Structures are given as structure tokens and as C-alpha cells.
Structure 1
Amino acid sequence: MIRRCFQVARLGLHRALPGAPCVLPRLNLTSASGSSADSLVSRFCPEKTDFQDYALPNASWSPDMLSLYQDFMEKTKASGWVKVPSFKSNREHIHGLKLPSSLAVPSDKSNGRLFTRCIQVEGQGYEYVIFFHPAKKKSVCLFQPGPYLEGPPGFAHGGSLAAMVDETFAKTAYLAGEGLFTFSLNIRFKNLIPVGSLVVLNVDVEKIEDQKIYISCIAQTRDQETVYAKSSAVFLQLQLEEESPQ
């Protein structure tokens, strides 16, 4: 008998024993037509949707952020970059996404909200937009922290940058190779980020091997003169396996 399943090592989900592998069934992506980068992007970045896209300019965006956004929008026309929409919930991102029953938890869909979209007032929390390049397997996130993210007076809380890095990693890992779960995340802070300033997160997929996606990030100013943080992460890739007949 051939059993088709996903095996994610040492994930620690589904009440797995310490050190034991965790076996997950394949995610149900009903609109999937292969796992190429193009098909993933088309599922994740629908041309038409009734959901509000929060990754669009508003009055709170600084001139610097708006200018760089417009530069990248030009690149989407000819240079292979894709603007990644950002809805209020990950339920709304991927058409046809259904988690395995073993991971399903009761929740009120109307109250579910992506962490980085939990602040409704424009400019007060996470203002950001992510651009992804399928061929190069890299992303650029434009991030402007608002006053609700303040840590030291006048500066963004380090945790807000860590959350933004992880969110950009997650989107990149999924689009680059169906990575879905953060396995490890490391970040080294270099400088404080003034509230309301532009942070550019340059994210690269370093390699994909052994069901893991290795990613790195440099968060810096637009002119690259100031580095705010350097980070790396490993995401678990859900990969179909077949077991030999018993």
C-alpha cells in the first residue's frame, strides 16, 4: 500500500512526542495546477478580489516610501517583480487553502486578523508592502512603523521589526517553495528605527534542501547607509513523499 503524506521533521505539532517526526497530510489547494512559482504567485496574488488590499498607498505614507513604491510598481511592468497583496487575514490570501484537519482549530472567521494588520487606523501601526521576484526568489518589503509600534521614545520596538521580518520571510518562503512554518528565526539588531521612517527589507532565498527553505534578510535605509538589522530563518517546506509498499 502506498501512502502519500507530508513529513515535517521535529515540528512539534499535533501532539508529537519530543524528538519524534510530525506527519502532516498535504494541504488542500483546490485551485493548484502544479507547484511552480508562477502558479503559486497566481494563487497568492489574484488579479481580482473583493477583499481590501491594505498594501496600497495612503495619506500616512512618507514621500520616501511612496517614491520607492512607485519605482517598484514600474518594475512589475517589465522586470519580473510582482506586488504581493496584503489582506486582513491569511484565510483570504491563498485561494483554495485548507489546513489539514489535524491542524484545524475552532475560531471566529470574522475576528481572525493577520497580526501585522491588527491596527486599523492608517499610519499608526504596520504600513508595508511586499514585492516578490519569482525567478530570483527574492523579496523586498517597504516598511514604515507607526507610533503604536513605539518602544524606546521616538523609535520602533525591536519586536515590531522582528514581526515584519518574519511576515516577509513567510510570504517569500511560500511563494518560493511552499514553505509554510517558521522552523527557526535569528535576528541581530544594529540600529534603532525612528518611528515613521522607511525601512527596506531585502530578502533572499539562499537555498532549498531537505524540505527546508533557508532565507536571509538585511533591513536598512533606502540609501543603504544604515543597517537596522540582519536576520536569517529556516522554513519548513511541505513536500509530497511516497512510502514504499509494505
Structure 2
Amino acid sequence: MRASFGRLALCAAAAGLLAWSALGPSRAAEEPVVIPPPQLDAKEAGGIQTAVFAGGCFWGVQGVFQHTAGVVNALSGYAGGSKASASYPLVSTGTTGHAEAVEVKYDPKRISYGKLLQIYFSVAHDPTQLDRQGPDTGPQYRSAIFTTSDEQKRIADAYIAQLDAAKVFGAPIVTKVGPLKGFYAAEAYHQDYLTLHPTQPYIAYNDLPKIEALKKLFPTEYLDKPTLVSSVKATN
């Protein structure tokens, strides 16, 4: 399902077919999974660090990390392709090499890279789905970790091996790990989307349950008030 038409069309169709407001809490398209923390993690480092994750529609992934303590900003965007084709209409064709991704700026004194990975694999998306998440299909929705250091790659690779060996998922993890070559911010209307559109059917069904799962499975890391892109810009 193409994002430029499919995801937004899905919202409209669902709104016409279902009385979403009367349903109460929804089940996510991808159920959260309780997983162990990584055996290998990063040492505490000075200064704000950057991590980039792709796991389906960036609306939900951004929302999860905006509700995560220690994250100082989470920005929706595109990674894996060139700057020239980093726009929503082009990325939505699935031919540009990009994935919808989220750039996570975090304070390693408050949250580790390994903990971010645990949240990413547990509640942010299903790492066993190849080139799709829930209703969205295509390589732009692939599961991918774009690393910004050799240490991040070593930790991510080790964690995937650990989780596969423990068989915590019903299928092998398909997440690709590789160096970040460029991250390009998505259009302004994609930022803070989950918070700004909580009653939209796509968000209500696919993404809000991820926030509920974060609160339940990671109560120490959960923030009730999200750290929004708009608020970060206002303070800079």
C-alpha cells in the first residue's frame, strides 16, 4: 500500500466504515513483545548522541520515542537514499532507496543506546516483517537501523543475534543494520503527527497502542508528556 495514497486513503476509508470513537482502546497491528535487555550496551558518553531507526510508518515510531525519557528530540524523516529524492511523494513510490525513519537525539546519561534498541524491537514495530508494517507495504517501510558509530553497529548486531538465539519472536528478525549516510527531515506536516491527530483512524488503530505498550512495559522510561519537535524548535 503506497503511503502517499494508501495510508491516507486507509484513514478515510476506515473513518467511513467504522465508528472509531465508540470502540475504545484499539489493538495494534503489531503486538508488543516482552524481550530481555541487550547483554552488550554502550558505555556512558558525554554529550547528546544520535540514533536512527526505521520501522514502518514514521508517525508511530516518532511517537514512541517522543514519549521516552532521555530522548531530547525525535524527528521524522528519510534515510537510505539521496537528498534529491527525499520527499514524501517520491519516497512513497518505494523506488528511491529511502526508508521512513526517525532521528533520535538522546542523552546517554539518562538512557542508553541498548535501551533504545529494546524499546524499538519491543513496542515500536515488528522486526520480523519484511518490507512492511501492518497495512503499509514496500521497501520504504522496512525495518532498519542506521548506525552513527562502530559501537552502535556492534551493539545492534549483537542484540539481534541475542534475540534470535533466544527465539523471543515467532520468526527471525529481518532488521538490516548499516551505517547512516544521510538523514533528511520529513515535511512539517509529518512532525508530531501522533500527538496532533490522536483520533485519526490510522493513528488510533496502529500507533496509540504502541504508546500504551511503552507505558506498560517500560514504566521507568515512559513520559506522559511527549517531547515534541515543535517544542524543541521553540526553545532553540
Question: Comparing both structures, which one devotes a greater share of its residues to helix?
Answer: 2
Shorter-chain TM range is under 0.3
Question: Comparing both structures, which one devotes a greater share of its residues to strand?
Answer: 1
Q: Which has the larger radius of gyration?
A: 1
- What TM-score does the superposition give when structure 1 sets the normalisation length? 0.26
